[in-house]
C-alpha cells in the first residue's frame, strides 16, 4: 500500500513517514503542494495525507486537483481547524477525512487504516441495487447514475449513499452513520454526516435545496426515501 504525505514541516513529514513505514506502508514524502502533485502522478498512491497551509500550493487546491482525476482517499491533516467551517471547507474540497493536529500517532494510523478499509472494501451485503428510473445504484460495479448519466462519488460518498439506501424508510441516526460509514473511531466527528449529506445531495438530488431522496430528521439523523419507479 502506497501512502503519500505532503507537509511543509520536515520534522512532521519524517515522524509520520517513519510511523507508517513501521506499520508496513510504502511511504512517499513531499514538502509542498506542487511536489505532492508530481509524486501523486508518478506513484499513484492508495492514500494521500495533505497539510493545508503550505507554500506554493495549499492543501485544499492539491485536494481539488487530485479529485479532478482520481477518487483516491484523501486525509487532511491540519493545525488550522478552529471552526466547523474550516472542516467543512476541507471536506468540500473533496477530502474524506479531516484530522486536527496534534494527533496521537496511534490514532493517526488507526484513521489511516480505517480510511483505506472504507475505500477498498466494497460492501454490498445485499447485492440488490436501486433503480427508480432517475437514480440508479449499481452495487456490484459501484456505479451511480442520475437521470441516465454516470456520476462520480468518492468512496465515502458511495458508502454513505449505500448505507442510507439499505435502511430506506428508516431514520439512521448520526451515530449509526458514523459507525457504519466511517468506523467506530469516528463517533464523535459529528460534522462528517452533515457535510457529506449536503455533498451527496448536490450530486444525486434533482434539487439539493429541496431534497426528495435524502431527508433530514431534525436533531436525529437522516432517512432515505425510495421513489416509485417512473
**Which residues in this chain contact other proteins in the complex, by CB under 8 A?**
9, 11-12, 15-16, 18-19, 22, 53, 79-80, 82-85, 88, 101-106, 174, 188, 190-191, 194, 197-198, 216, 219-220
By C-beta, is 144 or 200 nearer to other proteins? 200
Task: Name the minimum Å distance from CB 44 to other proteins.
Answer: 27
By C-beta, is 18 or 150 nearer to other proteins? 18
Query: How would you class 228 by CB atoms within 10 Å of its CB: exposed for 0-12, middle for 13-18, buried for 19 or more?
Result: exposed
Instruction: Label residues 79-92 b or e (16+ Cβ within 10 Å = b).
Output: ebbeeeebbbbbbb
Which stretch of DSSP H or E encloses residue 77?
strand 74-78
Task: Name the minimum Å distance from CB 36 to other proteins.
Answer: 17
Task: Name the minimum Å distance from CB 59 to other proteins.
Answer: 12
Task: Name the minimum Å distance from CB 228 to other proteins.
Answer: 27
CA 153 to chain CA mean position, Å? 9
By C-beta, is 37 or 52 nearer to other proteins? 52
By C-beta, is 57 or 88 nearer to other proteins? 88
By C-beta, is 16 or 66 nearer to other proteins? 16
Task: Name the minimum Å distance from CB 222 to other proteins.
Answer: 10
Eight-class DSSP state of 7: -
The span from the CA of 12 to the CA of 168, in Å, is: 44
H helices of the chain, in order, are 10-22, 33-43, 59-69, 84-92, 105-120, 155-166, 174-177, 191-204
Amino acid at each position: 500500500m502506497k501512502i503519500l504525505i505532503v507537509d511543509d514541516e520536515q520534522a512532521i513529514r519524517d515522524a509520520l513517514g517513519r510511523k507508517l513505514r513501521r506499520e508496513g506502508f510504502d511511504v512517499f514524502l513531499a514538502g509542498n503542494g506542487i511536489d505532492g502533485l508530481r509524486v501523486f502522478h508518478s506513484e499513484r498512491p492508495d492514500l494521500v495525507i495533505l497539510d493545508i497551509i503550505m507554500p506554493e500550493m495549499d492543501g485544499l487546491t492539491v485536494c481539488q486537483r487530485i479529485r479532478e482525476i482520481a477518487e483516491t482517499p484523501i486525509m487532511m491533516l491540519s493545525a488550522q481547524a478552529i471552526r466547523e467551517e474550516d472542516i467543512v471547507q476541507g471536506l468540500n474540497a473533496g477530502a474524506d477525512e479531516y484530522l486536527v493536529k496534534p494527533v496521537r500517532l496511534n490514532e493517526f494510523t488507526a484513521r489511516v487504516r480505517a480510511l483505506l478499509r472504507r475505500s477498498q472494501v466494497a460492501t454490498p451485503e445485499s447485492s440488490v441495487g436501486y433503480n427508480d428510473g432517475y437514480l440508479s445504484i449499481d452495487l456490484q460495479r459501484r456505479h451511480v447514475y442520475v437521470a441516465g448519466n454516470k456520476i462520480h462519488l468518492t468512496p465515502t460518498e458511495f458508502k454513505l449513499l449505500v448505507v442510507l439506501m439499505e435502511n430506506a424508510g428508516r431514520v439512521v441516526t448520526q451515530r449509526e452513520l458514523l459507525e457504519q460509514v466511517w468506523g467506530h473511531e469516528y463517533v464523535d466527528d459529528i460534522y462528517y454526516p452533515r457535510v457529506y449529506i449536503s455533498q451527496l445531495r448536490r450530486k444525486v438530488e434533482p434539487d439539493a435545496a429541496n431534497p426528495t431522496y435524502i431527508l433530514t430528521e431534525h436533531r436525529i439523523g437522516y432517512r432515505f426515501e425510495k421513489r416509485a419507479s417512473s
